[in-house]
Amino acid sequence: MDLNVPKFNVFFLDTSFNLDTARSALERAVREDPSLADLATMGAGVSTDGMRVAGVPVGVDAWVKTFVAKKARSVITDVAKLDVVSGGLLHNQLLHFCQNARMAFLGRNAPTPLLSEFMAQMDDTIVEAVCRHGTGGGHVDWSPHLRKFANMKIQVPHFREGFGIMPNEGSAISAFYSATCALVVWLGSHGGNKPAQDFADAWAPGLNLSSPNSWHAPLLQALSALHALLLQDFKCVEWTSESDRVPAPLAVSIALPFVPPSVGSRNSPPLLSTVTLPQLRMLFQSTHEDRQGAEAPAEPGERNAKSPLQRTLTALIMSRWAKHEGALAHISLERSIEMFELQCQWSRITSKS
């Protein structure tokens, strides 16, 4: 493998550095430390704003937003190029599985507050492309209420009689929350022969992962913000215990969101259950303590901490997505029944074929 030097950057997190002082500091470090001698001939770049690590932007908020905005504009440009595709099914699949999925990696690995604005722009572009291609441009004559209904049908999952082109603005919330929770759990359960705290110190130096109030890393602060958002806006419930000895949180559980059964359907979807989230302070567990008591039988009710399932949170978020509220209020019952009948007929035909 060849080393791509132009992509190699040294990122200075300290805000007191500018580009000149950062370059001077790098040159001084290379002269004083023989182990860094190879950097002298590489021409490595220097950055004080941010850098890309495995495709993920890391740095100050403004730099990360600029990076994400550029990626979103690239997707929006490519969505417009698909207008030349004549086949409706092929066009829909290219939008759904190719363009709509391009930002999913960033949604899972970059703090959600820095992405939401650009994710929403991309979601609007994809929904507009579906409507434009599917109606031949006739959608411009729709009323605002009908357009809101169409947007909802395009974005809700298949089990809710939708097209399943999930909005990245919403799915990024569950993706980032689940991935970051899993990271904290992983740091507490993969300490090798060392206590988990020693292992975590190597990955998150200066952080007490069992004390969310003291978190100052942007990634963990974003996790705390999303935790509060899920509790407040999406009515999740945080696991609590009245006992002095606090066991690990119960697993997250949720039923599929409730929607009226479509015409011809014999089974009604189950009712929405309460979503229980683990307390953030309980995600990190000491491997050292677990191993000391590994031979002791587990007490009733104690379970290992688990990060929430991403699909579970996505189902919850989409069932209470603010942009879909009121979408059915101004649509006539006759039109809704007609659309549901057509969808059910199509489902039966495809299942038989």
154-174 residue pLDDT tens: 998 887 778 999 999 999 999
* 264 pLDDT tier (thresholds 50, 70, 90): very low
Question: Rounded to an integer, what distance in angstroms lies between the CA atom of residue 287 and that of residue 191?
Answer: 6
Report helix, strand or coil for 290. Answer: helix
Report the domain count for the chain.
2
Does a structural domain hold residue 303?
Answer: yes
Q: Which residues contact 43 (CB under 8 A, 6 or more apart)?
A: 5
**Looking at residues 128-150, what average pLDDT do you find?**
91
Domain that holds residue 253: 171-317
Two tokens, residue 324? 């879909």
Does a structural domain hold residue 209?
Answer: yes
Distance from chain centroid for Cα 219: 13
pLDDT above 90: residue 296: no
- What pLDDT score does 92 carry? 92
36-61 residue pLDDT tens: 776 766 666 777 888 888 888 888 88
Question: Rounded to an integer, what distance in angstroms lies between the CA atom of residue 202 and that of residue 192?
Answer: 13
Does a structural domain hold residue 121?
Answer: no
pLDDT above 50: residue 270: no
Does a structural domain hold residue 93?
Answer: no
Does a structural domain hold residue 137?
Answer: no
- What pLDDT score does 348 carry? 52
Does a structural domain hold residue 144?
Answer: no
Do the Cβ atoms of 223 and 216 come closer than 8 Å? Answer: no
308-353 residue pLDDT tens: 588 889 988 988 899 988 887 766 656 665 666 666 665 555 545 5
- What pLDDT score does 187 carry? 83
How many C-beta neighbours within 10 Å does residue 191 have? 19
Do the Cβ atoms of 279 and 252 come closer than 8 Å? Answer: no
Report helix, strand or coil for 122. Answer: helix
Does a structural domain hold residue 41?
Answer: yes
Does a structural domain hold residue 122?
Answer: no
Degrees to nearest 5, angle at CA 266 with 262 and 267 = 85
Do the Cβ atoms of 274 and 319 come closer than 8 Å? Answer: no
Nearest Cα to Cα of residue 278 among 212, 187, 191, 196 = 212
Sequence length of the chain is 353
Nearest Cα to Cα of residue 185 among 252, 120, 134 = 252
- What pLDDT score does 248 carry? 39
Where do the H-state alpha helices sit in the chain?
19-32, 61-81, 88-93, 104-109, 116-135, 144-155, 168-189, 196-203, 218-232, 287-292, 310-319, 333-352
CA dihedral 117, 123, 126, 128 (to 10 degrees): -90
63-101 residue pLDDT tens: 899 999 999 999 999 999 999 998 889 999 999 999 999
**Looking at residues 215-233, what average pLDDT do you find?**
92
